[in-house]
Chain A
Amino acid sequence: MAEPQNFSECVDKLLDDFKLYDKTVDLVSCWEFFYTKVAPVRDRILHFDRFPRLVPAQENERDRKTPDFAVLVSDSYGLVGDVKSGFPLEEAAFLRHLERLKKYDRSLSFKRNEKGETTSPTTHDILLIIPIRDSQEIVLRIESLLSNGMVTFERKLIVLEWVYDSDEYIFRRVAGQIADFNDSSVPEEVRLSKHFTSRGRSLKISPDDIKLIKAKWQFCNDEPKPIYTIVFLWTKIFYHLLDERQREVWRRKNPQKELPIDVTVGRLVEEISRYPMEWGHWTDWVTKALNTLVIAGLAREIGDGRYVVDYRNLTKEVGEPGHPAAGSRSAYHPAEYARILATYICRGLHDKKRKTEAQDELQGQGKLPFLEQASPPNNATDE
């Protein structure tokens, strides 16, 4: 996607980032639902891992692999699932994208229970989950690269496509791929080869099925974009860092009043752990979120790793939203945090860009990309 050139494109881009992450949370939740709530599947597997940090079993490699989910079906078979929002068109970039999946193509230690014990199954399959939009073309290109020997996988790489239709998320195996699940060692009920390949069935899961799973975890194993983390901090965490006197101000007087919160990354991470979220790179994520709040003008860095966040109820600052019944349906946008915070961030970036451009004009240097500060280079769904 091209970098946004103006303010409204910037807001739309941040909102897209927000929605993309939320969508990935949904998709992972669908698979958690399948493996933990559907009988007899939930009774036939050993463990579903929503936040896997898989250690290569036989190598001296210390890097943990973090797919979107992992399932230890039995001592002999596992599944690694990765959700991607798409593949690049350009050939070399496409190949690089595909090769990133090779990090899962090795013997890995899967979590086998909540105590953290692990098992390296005899084999595992790699499940690539992509939107239906370009799935056929992507599979054809992958097959072509595999047959040409441009890329090789020791394990099976299976591509599933997903679509949201008739109030359900629908997953099915993309037609035209040669590889099939290597799951003959496990009971029939949990063989995806039986459900998806032999019987040609689709997995259909509604948002109603996954709502509690989603509310429980809020995040998935991918790194969230700062806008997503900020909304979480603003609506669920910051309030708990106010002192009693500050809370009293909002209770009795004006909830729009700005209340400064003097905070460090460590203190925020500690507060987040009440959720509990031990699995993420919270120190990094919170640091990026705070730095983005600084750009947005909603926080200041005051040295020694400390920040002051000007916390308040932002939703009432931008006026009352329209209402469908009032005839403003098409223009209706709720005064809600993702949009409001995106507006603040883009305003901050815009001001920064203008300042930089003014300096560049003076110094004859290049321009600051509009979103350089707000978006880290990696894609939330693709890591």
Chain B
Amino acid sequence: MPKQLQLAGGEFVGRWRDTLALCAGVCARNKRAKIFFATFFSEKAAPTLLAGLSRAINLTTKTDYWLASSVRGGEKGGAKLRFGLFQSGHDAWTAFTLTKTVANEDALLRLLRLLSPNFSEAYLTSSDIRSIFEALEERAGVKVSVNKAVAYSHRREGQISFFKNEAYHTVFNKAENEGKFVDKVDFSLTGPHFLHGFVARNGGAKFMAGDIELFQDSILSPIAQISSNKHGVFRASSRQPGSTEVSAIDIQFGETAFQGREDDLAFISSLDRMARSGIAVLHENPYVHVSLIDFFDGSAFDIFATSRKAVTIVPQVGASPFSLNRLCNHIFENFREGMIAKPEEKVWTLEEVLA
């Protein structure tokens, strides 16, 4: 089992920003070292939930964050996973650890996923990641170059594309033109600031080298901000028990996504493939109305494809924002990416309905 790096002096100091500065120092001295960040959502305080897990996790309260450590691989001889945890937004939390192995990153993600069902990762779309890079270039006067990137096609039979050493917008444009979504990007900056980092669509990020403050402000904070905004929309869409009111969200594709029966079936088929879920097709033709249950936490949704450029999801009683988040990400990865929006309240006129 790979050992976790030990910070030289002042590890996990009082404030998380100071701790990150120390970790960045280690990364500067050790090329293999990186800081791994995982941003996620939990309506209950994450430290309380972690403390309640059956496996042994020691939590220490620091000035503005928590230090957690858990022993992996059994009591004796197991590697110790140490990570910091701070609140990064409304219901949003970010865990970070200094590591030089992917095994430690996976271990941290596995541990956080134990907080399910009231947990979801901070899913980003290709467009979200692109907007982070756009804002970074504008803010810091730098150029973002992609060292490596991976994109997948939306369909199950799809392909993987690898990109190397290209301008970020070229990578995103190519992926979009090929009907793919960008899954992860390893990038560097050129210009007045240096930064080598990594962003994934599950909200994971890595700092490898360079300006840690720029990374916090331009990568980490936007990840929390963008995903918090979406989570807020998901939370506001919950249907309360006993209420006759429903609240929907739209996924707007921005272009025609449904041109005929083949697209309808492709959409239903993509829902059909969501893990730990079941669908009932109430209406398949000429428009799509599917009822979906997420067996992960019992959330149920009515999903409509009634317009050419959007789908509408109506959460039913007991549906959680976490499940809605997973469902939207599933649609983005398996059908098409889009923008999440609250449908506008509309009053129709007689002229619109009488002809």
Residues of A within 8 A of B (CB): 18-19, 22, 26, 33-34, 37-42, 164, 167, 189, 195, 201-209, 211-212, 214-216, 218, 231, 234-236, 239-240, 242, 247, 250-251, 255, 273-276, 313-316, 320-321, 323-326, 329, 332, 334-339
B49 CB to nearest A CB, Å: 15
Give A42 to B117 CA distance when docked, in angstroms. 42
Q: Which of B242, B318, B343, B350 neighbours the largest number of chain A CB atoms within 10 Å of its CB?
A: B350
Q: Which of A214, A273, A334 neighbours the largest number of chain B CB atoms within 10 Å of its CB?
A: A334
A139 CB to nearest B CB, Å: 22
The tally of residues in B whose CB lies under 8 Å from a CB in A reads 60
| Known contacts A19-B283, A207-B306; 14 further A-B pairs (Cβ under 8 A) | A18-B282, A22-B283, A37-B347, A38-B348, A206-B306, A208-B287, A211-B289, A216-B244, A251-B116, A274-B318, A276-B243, A325-B157, A326-B157, A336-B290
Q: Is the interface of A mostly helix, strand, loop or mixed?
A: helix
| Interface hits, B242-290 → A, CB 8 Å | 242-246, 248, 262, 265-266, 268-269, 271-273, 276-284, 286-287, 289-290
B128 CB to nearest A CB, Å: 27
A334 contacts B272, C-beta separation under 8 Å? yes
A336 contacts B244, C-beta separation under 8 Å? no
A236 contacts B314, C-beta separation under 8 Å? no
A336 contacts B317, C-beta separation under 8 Å? no
A225 CB to nearest B CB, Å: 13
Interface CB pairs A-B, < 8 A, 20: A38-B350, A39-B348, A40-B350, A195-B350, A195-B354, A206-B306, A209-B353, A211-B312, A234-B278, A236-B316, A239-B295, A247-B298, A273-B242, A276-B243, A313-B277, A315-B272, A315-B279, A316-B278, A336-B268, A336-B278
| Interface hits, B304-345 → A, CB 8 Å | 304, 306-307, 312, 314, 316-318, 343
Neighbour of B279 across the interface among A33, A40, A334, CB < 8 A: A334
Give A211 to B295 CA distance when docked, in angstroms. 24
Give A212 to B314 CA distance when docked, in angstroms. 7
A215 contacts B314, C-beta separation under 8 Å? yes
Provide the B110-146 mask, 1 if CB < 8 A to any CB of A, else 0. 0000001100000000000000000000000000000
Give A338 to B157 CA distance when docked, in angstroms. 27
B279 contacts A336, C-beta separation under 8 Å? yes
B293 contacts A235, C-beta separation under 8 Å? yes
Give A102 to B293 CA distance when docked, in angstroms. 42
B280 contacts A201, C-beta separation under 8 Å? no
Give A329 to B293 CA distance when docked, in angstroms. 25
Neighbour of B248 across the interface among A41, A215, A236, CB < 8 A: A215
The reply to whether the CB of B300 lies closer than 8 angstroms to some CB of chain A is yes
Neighbour of B266 across the interface among A195, A202, A324, CB < 8 A: A324
Using CB atoms, name the residue of chain A closest to B317: A274
The reply to whether the CB of B32 lies closer than 8 angstroms to some CB of chain A is no
Residues of chain A within 8 A (CB-CB) of B269 are 321, 323-324, 332, 334
B289 contacts A214, C-beta separation under 8 Å? yes
B214 CB to nearest A CB, Å: 39
Residues of chain B within 8 A (CB-CB) of A275 are 316-317
Give A164 to B283 CA distance when docked, in angstroms. 13
Decide yes or no: A240 and B307 within 8 Å by CB, A216-B245, A336-B272 being known contacts: no
Using CB atoms, name the residue of chain B closest to A326: B157
Give A40 to B352 CA distance when docked, in angstroms. 12
A256 CB to nearest B CB, Å: 9
A162 CB to nearest B CB, Å: 14
B295 contacts A250, C-beta separation under 8 Å? yes
A329 contacts B262, C-beta separation under 8 Å? yes
Using CB atoms, name the residue of chain A closest to B242: A276
The reply to whether the CB of B355 lies closer than 8 angstroms to some CB of chain A is yes
Give A200 to B217 CA distance when docked, in angstroms. 63
Give A321 to B278 CA distance when docked, in angstroms. 13
B295 contacts A255, C-beta separation under 8 Å? yes
The reply to whether the CB of B162 lies closer than 8 angstroms to some CB of chain A is no
Residues of chain A within 8 A (CB-CB) of B296 are 250-251, 255
A198 CB to nearest B CB, Å: 12
The reply to whether the CB of B174 lies closer than 8 angstroms to some CB of chain A is no
B280 contacts A338, C-beta separation under 8 Å? yes
The reply to whether the CB of B91 lies closer than 8 angstroms to some CB of chain A is no
A250 CB to nearest B CB, Å: 5
Decide yes or no: A324 and B287 within 8 Å by CB, A276-B242, A313-B295 being known contacts: no
Give A377 to B27 CA distance when docked, in angstroms. 75
B355 contacts A202, C-beta separation under 8 Å? yes
Residues of chain A within 8 A (CB-CB) of B279 are 235, 315, 334-337
A204 contacts B354, C-beta separation under 8 Å? yes
A324 contacts B353, C-beta separation under 8 Å? no
B10 CB to nearest A CB, Å: 39
Q: Which of B278, B296, B347, B349 neighbours the largest number of chain A CB atoms within 10 Å of its CB?
A: B278
Decide yes or no: A251 and B297 within 8 Å by CB, A189-B350, A325-B157, A329-B265 being known contacts: yes
The reply to whether the CB of B230 lies closer than 8 angstroms to some CB of chain A is no
Neighbour of A236 across the interface among B272, B289, B293, B297, CB < 8 A: B293
A211 contacts B314, C-beta separation under 8 Å? yes
Q: Which 9 A-B pairs have the closest CB atoms?
A: A239-B298, A337-B280, A215-B314, A208-B306, A215-B302, A315-B278, A274-B241, A207-B306, A255-B295
Residues of chain A within 8 A (CB-CB) of B314 are 211-212, 215-216
A251 contacts B117, C-beta separation under 8 Å? yes
The reply to whether the CB of B156 lies closer than 8 angstroms to some CB of chain A is yes
The reply to whether the CB of B155 lies closer than 8 angstroms to some CB of chain A is yes
B327 CB to nearest A CB, Å: 14
Using CB atoms, name the residue of chain A closest to B241: A274
Give A334 to B273 CA distance when docked, in angstroms. 10
Using CB atoms, name the residue of chain B closest to A247: B298
A167 contacts B286, C-beta separation under 8 Å? yes
Residues of chain B within 8 A (CB-CB) of A231 are 280, 291
Decide yes or no: A201 and B355 within 8 Å by CB, A251-B117, A325-B266 being known contacts: yes
B283 contacts A235, C-beta separation under 8 Å? no
Residues of chain B within 8 A (CB-CB) of A41 are 350
Residues of chain B within 8 A (CB-CB) of A324 are 262, 265-266, 269
Residues of chain B within 8 A (CB-CB) of A42 are 347
Give A167 to B248 CA distance when docked, in angstroms. 21
Give A350 to B272 CA distance when docked, in angstroms. 28
A205 contacts B353, C-beta separation under 8 Å? yes
B293 contacts A212, C-beta separation under 8 Å? no
Residues of chain B within 8 A (CB-CB) of A203 are 353-354
B348 contacts A209, C-beta separation under 8 Å? yes
Residues of chain A within 8 A (CB-CB) of B304 are 207-208, 211, 215
Using CB atoms, name the residue of chain A closest to B302: A215
Residues of chain A within 8 A (CB-CB) of B266 are 323-325
